[in-house]
């Protein structure tokens, strides 16, 4: 509207801004593991995509039907058209976050299934159901998708950004973690579970590493001329 109260037909009405910003459910192009559906859902509902991914993966413990729903939704919902190109550091951060989410989901899922089996509460064989033809075809589709998606650009996850944790007992796990580049929690868990399963044999390895570390002073295992 101008000063003389004559409507300006070239002026954009105020309320069209509202229609422009209508959210659409689209698959994410920048944050994806398979098709970017979970990230798209996260953006749509304003929730962290990792939580949706975790819930989706954990739903496999209940039923494998989630896989079909996921594939169907991936075909139905389009890829986002407007997206910002991320810098390499951002890409690495997203990949690291996604790999952590997958790893944690696998561990939780394995723990739940193991618990189900050992307590014999629920017999859960659906996940490795060999007779389902549809699931087997789904493996083929996912495999082809991974190859196709990856042939376009070389993806090498940089694990140097794994956080350097503090030592808890003697620092053996910390040194191994820094040296090999595996998360310290995984190494600690390996030593605990390994010791329990092997009735102490892995504990001997821990002591061996500890002795060799202290034998050569404070420099730790990460020194090149160690031992």
Partner 1 sequence: MKMNYKTLLGFSIIIYGILSILNGKLIHIPAKAILGFTLIFYGIPSVYISFNYHKKNMIVLSSVSFFTGIFLALNAYYKVYSYTTLVLFIIFVCSATFFLLFIEETKKKYYLYSGLFLLLILYPAVKIIQKIESSYFIYHYLKIGNIILPIILILLGISLFLKRND
The rounded radius of gyration (Å) of the Cα atoms in the chain is 25
By CB under 8 A, the residues from 32 to 51 that bind partner 1 are 50
Rank residues 47 and 144 by Cβ distance to partner 1 and give the closer one.
144
Rank residues 25 and 138 by Cβ distance to partner 1 and give the closer one.
138
Among 15, 154, 217, 218, binds partner 1 (CB under 8 A): 154
Whole-Å CA distances, 66 to 53, 79, 170, 193: 12, 20, 44, 31
The answer to whether 209 contacts partner 1 (rule: CB under 8 A) is yes
CA distance 224 to 201: 27
The answer to whether 89 contacts partner 1 (rule: CB under 8 A) is no
Among 4, 15, 85, 130, binds partner 1 (CB under 8 A): 130
The answer to whether 108 contacts partner 1 (rule: CB under 8 A) is yes
Q: How many residues bind partner 1 (CB under 8 A)?
A: 72
Partnered with residue 168 across adjacent β-strands are: none
Pick the piece of the chain touching partner 1 (CB under 8 A) from 4-12, 14-22, 80-88, 182-190.
Answer: 182-190
Rank residues 154 and 218 by Cβ distance to partner 1 and give the closer one.
154
Among 133, 166, 217, 218, binds partner 1 (CB under 8 A): 133
Angle made by CA atoms 186, 194, 191, in degrees to the nearest 5: 45
Q: Please compute, for residue 164, the number of CA atoms within 13 A of its CA located in the half-sphere on the CB side.
A: 4
User: Quick one: tokens of 50?
Assistant: 């990792």
Rank residues 76 and 128 by Cβ distance to partner 1 and give the closer one.
128
Among 69, 72, 197, 219, binds partner 1 (CB under 8 A): 197
Cα torsion angle, 210, 215, 218, 223, sign: negative
Closest by CA position to 12, among listed 23, 1, 21: 1
């Amino acid at each position: 509207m101008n000063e003389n109260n004559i409507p300006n037909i070239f002026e954009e009405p105020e309320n069209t801004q509202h229609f422009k910003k209508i959210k659409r459910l689209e698959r994410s192009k920048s944050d994806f593991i398979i098709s970017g559906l979970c990230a798209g859902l996260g953006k749509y509902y304003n929730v962290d995509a990792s939580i949706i991914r975790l819930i989706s993966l954990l739903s496999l413990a209940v039923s494998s039907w989630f896989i079909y729903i996921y594939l169907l939704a991936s075909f139905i919902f389009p890829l986002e058209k407007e997206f910002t190109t991320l810098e390499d550091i951002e890409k690495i951060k997203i990949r690291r976050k996604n790999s952590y989410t997958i790893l944690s989901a696998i561990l939780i899922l394995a723990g739940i299934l193991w618990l189900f089996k050992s307590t014999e509460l629920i017999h859960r064989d659906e996940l490795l159901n060999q007779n389902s033809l549809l699931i087997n075809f789904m493996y083929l589709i996912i495999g082809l998708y991974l190859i196709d998606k990856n042939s376009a650009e070389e993806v090498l996850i940089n694990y140097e950004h794994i956080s350097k944790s503090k030592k808890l007992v003697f620092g053996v796990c910390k040194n191994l973690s820094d040296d090999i580049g595996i998360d310290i929690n995984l190494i600690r868990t390996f030593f605990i579970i390994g010791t329990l399963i092997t009735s102490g044999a892995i504990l001997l390895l821990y002591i061996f590493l500890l002795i060799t570390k202290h034998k050569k002073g404070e420099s730790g295992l990460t020194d090149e001329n160690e031992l």
